[in-house]
Amino acid sequence: MIKVKNLTYSYHTGGKKHPGSRPDKGGRQVLQGLDFAVGDGEIFGFLGPNGSGKSTTQKILTGILKGYGGKISFWGQDISVMQKKEFLQKIGVLFEFPYLYANLSAADNLNYFASFYPKGQLRDVGELLDQLEFKKDFLKKPVSSYSKGMRQRVSMARALLSSPKVLFLDEPTSGLDPSGAVLFRRIIEEERRKGTTVFLTTHNMLDADLLCDRVAFLADGQIVAMDTPQSLKEQNNSGDRAPTLEDMFIHYTGRGLS
């Protein structure tokens, strides 16, 4: 269970802020008192336009950014008092871009990243790549020779490698062809079935609609709506046509899809 209470963050100063308070001179308050909770085994969609604070929230939740205000707890324990090493062993992160060592092969990349986790919690690299339908003849070739979709598969394998309890996914289907996107959605659902909590950040409303148990719309550092995709659509059904999650995005954030 992830619980976030009154989360604030201001760039430039990085100092603690309270909701509604003004940022320091020259600072930019990007998060203005977020409150949400994500249950175990839930897929939670964190949606919003560029610059709304999604990435900042994810960075704070993954322990990369410090100096935030408010409280964050994972499994009932405050993140600020948790052993960082133990915490990082329990999370998996897929970045928006497939950050990999281009001179190393997929296997070498994954073995390298695997060396930082306890052996007992590691998944088999070969099985993972099989599951992600990675072309085997590329296994020993350098990543620099891979397509974006293949790199994304290796990045997903890296995120899943340590059997994380919480999976942070940033635009997971970006750069994938439709069959790759379907495969990734299937894998994310399998993770959920295993009890993994998934924190999904995306602009892809189809992914959010198909995968998420609940979604939160973020605009200007505040959560403006949070519910199941179905409920949000029903609440805003004006009758002309059934609204989509894209309509909800525009409705709640006040902006077109970026």
Partner 1 sequence: MGKKFCALLNKDLRMMISGKYFFMAAGFLVLYTLYVNLGYVRFMKEDPYHVYLYDPQGLEEDVASEIIRVSSKEELEDALQSDGGSAGVDLSSGKVQVILYEGTPKSDQYRAAYALSRLQSSHEYRAEVVGDHTLEQKARREITCELLFFEISAVGFLGIAAILFKEKNMGVIRVHGILPLPKGLFLFSKMIIFLLADLAFAVLLTLFNTGWAQGLRVLPGVLIQTIFLSLVMALVGIGCSLLLKDFRQFTLAYLVIAIFVATPVFLTANTPVKLEGIAYHPFYPIYMGLKNAYFGNWAADPLYFAGVTCGIVVLFAGVWLAFCKEMAKEG
User: Interface with partner 1 includes 93 (CB under 8 A)?
Assistant: yes
User: Interface with partner 1 includes 55 (CB under 8 A)?
Assistant: yes
Q: What is the 3-state secondary structure (H, E, C) of 201-216?
A: EECCHHHHHHHCCEEE
Which residues in 172-206 are b (16+ Cβ under 10 Å) and which e?
bbbbbeeebbebbbebbeebbeeebbbbbbbbbbe
Nearer to partner 1, 36 or 95 (CB): 95
User: Interface with partner 1 includes 100 (CB under 8 A)?
Assistant: yes
205, 209, 210, 211: CA torsion to nearest 10: 90
Q: Closest approach of Cβ 101 to partner 1, in Å?
A: 6
User: Interface with partner 1 includes 257 (CB under 8 A)?
Assistant: no
User: Interface with partner 1 includes 47 (CB under 8 A)?
Assistant: no
Q: Round to whole Å and give the CA distance between 82 and 65.
A: 15
Q: Closest approach of Cβ 20 to partner 1, in Å?
A: 25
User: Interface with partner 1 includes 183 (CB under 8 A)?
Assistant: no
User: Interface with partner 1 includes 75 (CB under 8 A)?
Assistant: no
Q: Which residue has the tokens 């179905």?
A: 230
Nearer to partner 1, 101 or 136 (CB): 101
Q: Round to whole Å and give the CA distance between 142 and 140.
A: 7
Nearer to partner 1, 125 or 248 (CB): 125
Consecutive H or E run containing 178: helix 178-193
Q: Closest approach of Cβ 200 to partner 1, in Å?
A: 15
Neighbour order of strands in the sheet with 77-78:
28-38, 2-11, 69-74, 77-78
User: Interface with partner 1 includes 97 (CB under 8 A)?
Assistant: yes
Nearer to partner 1, 17 or 158 (CB): 158
Q: Which residue has the tokens 């609440």?
A: 235
Which spans of this chain sit near partner 1 (rule: CB under 8 A)?
55, 59, 62-65, 84-86, 88-89, 91, 93, 95-97, 99-104, 108, 112-113, 115-117, 158, 170
